[in-house]
Structure 1
């Protein structure tokens, strides 16, 4: 549950126990897990509740996230904080790797290189962040993510390396 009141500058949100997702890693493939979240059959992880993610789509090798910029995402300069943007990019890139993993295999991000290209505000419109696997080996994967604003203009992009391991 997320309730936001911009004028009153208040926000309330709830989240589910993150152990729910951790337990499913050993029982579902990455693609199955993410598609179940996209369909609403499984709750989104707490970070997605925190930033108020508007949507998730997953297919093999690619994940797309949607976010409507809101005032509570802002930094002191009046634009969306780079940490929120980096969270979207990291999630899209890493989850694209997750879609390629079978049951019992996990991953973690090794690095994230972000390039911020333009300021993002509420006026930017709905953000779309798409991650794609560029290369996957037995123990590591390379992925990228591109974030575009509501007009389709590239606002930020990132590359990420992920470590793949058996659980």
Structure 2
């Protein structure tokens, strides 16, 4: 029997910090993840943002609850051309039914802000 590997695990993103106050994750700028200009694909930056924000939001719900992305707003400010891309998620507001996170993405090697994002997560009871 062959083990199924989820597509997200093929990205090899990693958690650098995970606390109730913030989550920091990184994704390397690899040849198989860049666009024709050599910058990390914007959709992969969005995925990194969603994962980091979701992990943090999930730390603020009960054991019988989950979160799901309700809204995602990203401002791309500069390309990630050297990397790694570092996403730092913080809580903006944690309510009973909605959790809002802010996520900044930097190109670590260039020490440059690459994207700023706000996400809303709906809090759902597990089925």
Give unpaired runs (5+ residues) of structure 1. Answer: 1-13, 16-45
Distance of 1:119 and 1:66 partners within structure 2: 15
Deviations 1:105-161 (A, max 9, x none): 11100010011111122xx23221111111011101111101111232111111011
Flag the structure with higher strand content: 2
Superposed CA RMSD = 1.6
Give unpaired runs (5+ residues) of structure 2. Answer: none
CA contact (8 A) 2:29 2:39 kept: no
Distance of 2:98 and 2:15 partners within structure 1: 27
Q: How does 1:25-44 map to 2 (within 5 A)?
A: none
Distance of 1:117 and 1:130 partners within structure 2: 15
CA contact (8 A) 2:64 2:125 kept: yes
Q: Does 1:52 align with 2:12?
A: yes
User: How much has 1:165 moved relative to structure 2?
Assistant: 1.5
Structure of greater Rg: 1
Using structure 1 for the length normalisation, give the TM-score. 0.67
User: How much has 1:56 moved relative to structure 2?
Assistant: 4.0
User: How much has 1:77 moved relative to structure 2?
Assistant: 3.5
